[in-house]
Amino acid sequence: MDITRRTFLHGAGAGLALGGLGAPRVWAETSLTFGTLQVQTLSDGHLVLPPDFIFGPMPQAELAPLLAERGIDPLSPLTPDCNVTLLRDGARLVLFDTGAGNAFQPTAGELLTALDAAGVAPEEVTHVVFTHGHPDHLWGVLDDFDDPLFAEAAHMMGRAEWDYWYNPETVNTIDSGRTAFAVGAKRRLAMLEDAITLFDDGEEILPGIAARATFGHTPGHMAFELRSGSDSVMVVGDSIANHHLAFARPGWNSGSDQDQETAAATRTLLLDQLAHEQTRLIGFHLPDGGLGRAERDGDGYRFVPETA
């Protein structure tokens, strides 16, 4: 299994920055090759989130020293990376999630730039596979004219996730702070209705790609095991959504999860499996391109990024 990492300079103003007039965005694209598969993580930018969006439901007295140990200011915005996974396997070019597009946050929606840096045109993508329907994973599926961006691709989503976001009642039952999530998801999925393939837990959705139910962050969230021979990597989406508390205290409820108790149980079981089997993982919001391992660390775990 071979790992490489390249550094790119991109983003609005990058050209000016070279002349000293701005601050470019620098990010690492990580590539992992095993068997017939080549996996790349591509940056869609990053989010800006209030701390309470994750830390709000956690036990505050126990939380404070853990944040201090990790140099995290509990009053400062969180800026998690957004890593889209691209799989090359012969003639197949499979994209896991599509990023945020241009309608969510101005710091995200950079997938097209990242694909261009990787030498990939949108029409070359053969399959788009969604982990779940949140804006930073789904909203980039449409272009600036509200047409499917990956027009030549087959689109795939877990059945439970599709049913949840496509249900017209979801907008009335979801937490009021996420109403826009439901409206945006329904509009985009309606555009894909004739091109979508649904699947269930445990299915091999494409050769070498198995779906794994990781419910809780959303009602039908899916992870995917990519396997070639004896090697594998798990695309975990947002089932492990950050590199600090999600690893150190996986059983704590996180405000980012829609069903917090289910998500915590899912996260704990998944981390136990990944650490025990030493399976590599790719997390959508993990640092350094998102690729690494989970290792036991006392009562919890820690994220160990892969290096070339």
Q: What percent of the chain has pLDDT over 70?
A: 91
Which pLDDT score, from 0 to 100, does residue 8 have? 60
Going from the N-terminus, what domains does the chain have, and what CATH number goes with each? 2-305 (3.60.15.10)
Q: At what angle do helices 179-192 and 159-166 cross, to 10 degrees?
A: 110
pLDDT interval class at 58 (50, 70, 90): very high
Q: Which amino acid is at 301?
A: Y
198: which residues sit within 8 A by CB, 6+ positions away? 156, 157, 158, 159, 162
Is residue 33 scored above 60 in pLDDT?
Answer: yes
Query: How many helices (H) and strands (E) would you count in the chain?
Result: 10, 15
223: helix, coil or strand?
Answer: strand
8 A C-beta contact, residue 149 and residue 155? no
Check pLDDT > 50 for residue 64.
Answer: yes
CA 27 – CA 30 distance, rounded (Å): 10
Mean pLDDT computed over 221-236? 95
The pTM of the full predicted model, rounded to 2 decimals, is 0.92
* Token duo for residue 154: 């087959």
Pairing type for strands 291-297 and 81-89 reads: unpaired
17 pLDDT band, cuts 50/70/90, is: very low
